[in-house]
Every structure is written in C-alpha cells, then in structure tokens.
Amino acid sequence: MQKGAVLLASHGTTAEDVLAVARGGAPVELAPEAVEAMAASRAVIDALAARPEPVYGVSTGFGALAVRHISPELRAQLQRSLVRSHAAGMGPVVEREVVRALMFLRLKTLASGRTGVRPVVAHTMAALLNAGITPVVREYGSLGCSGDLAPLAHCAQVLMGEGEAEGPDGTVRPAAELLAAHGIEPVELREKEGLALINGTDGMLGMLVMACADLARLFTAADVTAALTLEALLGTDRVLAPDLHAVRPHPGQAASAENMRRVLAGSGLTGHHQDEAPRVQDAYSVRCAPQVAGAGRDTLAHARLVAERELAAAVDNPVVTEDGRVESNGNFHGAPVGYVLDFLAIAAADLASICERRTDRLLDRNRSHGLPPFLADDPGVDSGLMIAQYTQAALVSEMKRLAVPASVDSIPSSAMQEDHVSMGWSAARKLRGAIEALTRVIAVEMYAATRALQIRVTNGGRPSPAGEAVLAAVLEAGIPGPGRDRFLSPDLEAAYAFVRAGLLTEAAETVTGPLA
C-alpha cells in the first residue's frame, strides 16, 4: 500500500479519510476484499441481464421511463445516455474539495459490493482521484433525491472520457485529453453502471463531513473570543464554574464553559465589574456564551452521528443484497443528511448573532465600562471600529437568511415519479456560505476584543496569560493594535485569515493546553 494512501474496503469509510482525500490530496487504493465484493455483485447483475424479465436499472429505462424494457444491444447506449442527459448542471463551478469528496464517497459505495459495477469502474475512479483530475461540476442541478444526480453525472461523464475536468495544474481541459495524458482508459459503461455512478447522497455528505470539521474549529475559536470579550468588559468568570454547568448537564455547554474558564485563568481584569458602574450580572451575550456555543456543539455532535451512519452506508437503487437479490429501495433520499445540514446552519447563525452582540457592547461607551467610544483613538475625529460592526451585522443578517431550512421544501420531478425530494444539496451549499460568514464574524469580534484588551493594558490592566499570548500572536501576524483611523479592510481580512488558519486557538493553547 502506498504511504499515506486511504484504503477503501467494503465496510465504509471515516470522516478523517474523506478529509484526507478531499482536502489533503491523499491517494486512494481499493482493498482486495472490496474488489472481490464488486466482482461477486457484478456476477449477480450479469445473470439478471441475461434473463428476459425486466429489472430496473439493468434492462429498463429510468425514473418515469422505467416502464420500457431495453434490449441487450441498446444497454450500453442506455447507460451513456443516462449519464449524458443527467449531466445537466448549471451555474458556477463547485469547489475542488467538494468534487473530490463527492467522487471518493461514490467510490466508497462502489467498493461496498452493493452496486453491481465491475471492478474496472472503481479502479478508474480511483485513478482519476490519484491523478488529481477533478470533473467540472456546476452549482445547480441536485434536488437531493435519487441522490445528487447532476453533480455525480458530471463526474461519471469524465469517467467515460467526456465533458470537462480540471487537471492537477488547475487548468480546465476536455476530459479525454486529461485521461490520455495520465494513461487512464475511459470506461465503456455496461448494465447498471451508469445508474450506480449517479445515485447517491455523496455531494451533500461530503459537504457535511467538511462542515463538521470546520465548525468544530470555529466553536473553539468562538469560546476564545467570548473569553477575550468578557475580560475586556471587566466581566466575571464566576459564571463559568463547573458546578454551575453540571446543574444543567449539556455536554457542549460544559465544554465551552471550561474552554472560557481556562482562557481566563489568571486574569487581572475579570471580576472588576463592580468598579466602574455597579452591575449584578453581565449581559446575556457574555454570561450565556457557553449556553449558546454549547448548544451548537451538541448540534454538531448529532450531525457527526448522522454523518458516521451515512459513511457506513451503501446508497444505491437498486441495491445488491447479501443474499444476491437486486431490490429497489429509497435509501437515496437525502432527508437524514439534509436535516442536520439545516440544523447546523441554524446553530451557526445563532452563534454569529451572539458574537455580534458582544462586539457591539465593546464599541458602546455606555456599556463597555470605561473603553473609548468605538475603541477610537480620538473619538469624533476617529470613528474607530464603528463600521467594522456594520460589516459584522451584514454578515449576521446574511447568515439568518441562510438559516432558513432547505429541507422543508420539495418540488416534484420526473413526471411525479419522484414526487418528494430532500433539497439536501441546497442545504449543504448554503451551510458552506454560513461557515464562511461565521469565520468572518468571529474574526471581527476577535479584532475588537484584542484592541479593547490592548487599551486596557495601556491603562495598567493585566489580561490572562492566554489573553496575552493571543495579543502577541495577533501583533506578530501583522494585525495592528489601537491607533488613529486607517484603511480598515486589510486589518479585518488579516483577522479573518488568522481565525481561518486556526491561529487564534493555537495562540491560546500555548498557555491553556488543548481546548475542546
């Protein structure tokens, strides 16, 4: 086995493998047991193809056209026609990592031995991945039922040596040229194979796996920024005591509270909420930070459970059973994945909302407990971070729109044969936009909180050791501290890059150790 390669057996795969292939470019190999399972299931399909009785996907048309029996001499054309007609996507090109995840997950199902394809089909798909050839897939075309049909059809078309693909150098070329340049023989599809290549939830599942990885990092980053804001506002960390969170035993809440408590350990600023303007309690956006981020963590845990189940599945229709039957089914319906994609978008939007409210408190002199208006150097002459909050608010508003569930919608298709669909692909696409926006929202809060802490330091305050580590890392990354007004967009983009690369959490962890 090639070093660093992902080995696909017949029993599914893991989220780590998906990320390694989609984002890390890891090579893929098929286990001998997977090749044997594919050969065995193919024998079942060949036997059925030789019989006079019609079998869906083997010797019939598709969808509402399944009533027609297809003669043997037309079956290769049937599979080619299926792929060509279903490669009907439109719009912008989908990201390379999404297409690689989609292809890898379809290959995972082929390797299960449940689809009836020949081993050569799976070997050719693995060869495409290993050569860095990425089919051009368009944004629009999947209803998330009968699988991600159009996106998968664009991939299957490249397997046939048709359509367009992006080479390892990033250049889009005709698929036939790319396959020839890498010594890959196009596949001549036989019975059932075209259908098996397009009938799965692989696109939405791949995006779910990547979203879970991204959100796990962002929930931790949000805990760090919430702690920095609490400190800059001279709030109390007593609300983070473990016994208080044990009273309401949500595991995500306890994890977020513990993260914040560790970031704030040793602070000389917390607990001074009575000094300037007496207050019994901090505002909800500060005091309830663990409850909101923690609920998001628990939502993420549920989404990961769904993803794990789907990663162990073999989604196709019809499917070859263990005892050799070929049965139609509805396992291609994307509802389980679509629901959690929408759920994560809701959690992300609410987390962004509470982040923005904390930022607003840092900028309002009536609620910031001694900080200058908008954290400006010379308020009135300087506007400080006034419009940074506008930008953050615009992002939060966009995220609220993206939180509207896609999975509650359904538009019937295929002459009412496919009369209820999941819209899971759409849920996944909007979640990717929400994650991008959330990263920027957290970056703006971090930028405001670190500036506020730098102002506290100038006035004799002493942040926690973890807070000091974050301040040092921010400055080292070239993100300036307080001062006269300047072109703010580059600073905010630098803060976004800092958060996106995981540097915020890494800086805090140099003091706290690994955070949850």
Q: Sign of the C-alpha dihedral, residues 62, 127, 33, 98?
A: negative
**Which residue in the block uniquely carries the two structure tokens 């992300």?**
348
> CA 157 from chain center: how many Å?
26
Q: Which of 56, 284, 339, 447 is catalytic?
A: 56
**Which residue in the block uniquely carries the two structure tokens 């010797």?**
59
Report the phi/psi class of residue 349: left, alpha or beta, with left for phi > 0 and alpha for psi in -120 to 50: alpha
Both tokens assigned to 409: 């919608």
Q: What is the DSSP letter of 88?
A: -
56 is catalytic: yes
Half-sphere exposure of 447 (CA within 13 A, CB side): 32
Pair 214, 505: CB distance under 8 Å: no
DSSP, collapsed to helix, strand or coil, labels residue 422 as: coil
Count, in order, helices (H) and strands (E) of the chain: 19, 9
> CA 151 from chain center: how many Å?
17
Q: Write a three-state SS string for 410-461.
A: CCCECCCCECCCCCHHHHHHHHHHHHHHHHHHHHHHHHHHHHHHHHHHHCCC
Q: CA 99, 103, 105 angle in degrees (round to 5)?
A: 115
Rounded Cα–Cα distance for residues 448 and 229 (Å): 8
Strand-strand pairing, 134-135 and 164-166:
antiparallel
- At residue 134, φ and ψ (nearest 5 deg) are -120, 110
Amino acid occupying residue 475 = L
Distance set, CA 177 to CA 159, 167, 180, 320, 433 (Å): 12, 10, 5, 35, 33
**Which residue in the block uniquely carries the two structure tokens 């060509």?**
84
* Residue-wise burial string across 7-17, b where 16 or more C-beta atoms lie within 10 A, e elsewhere: ebebebbebeb
Which residues are within 8 A (CB) of 389 and not within 5 positions of it... i.e. 6 or more apart?
356, 359, 360, 363, 444, 448
Which amino acids are annotated catalytic? 56
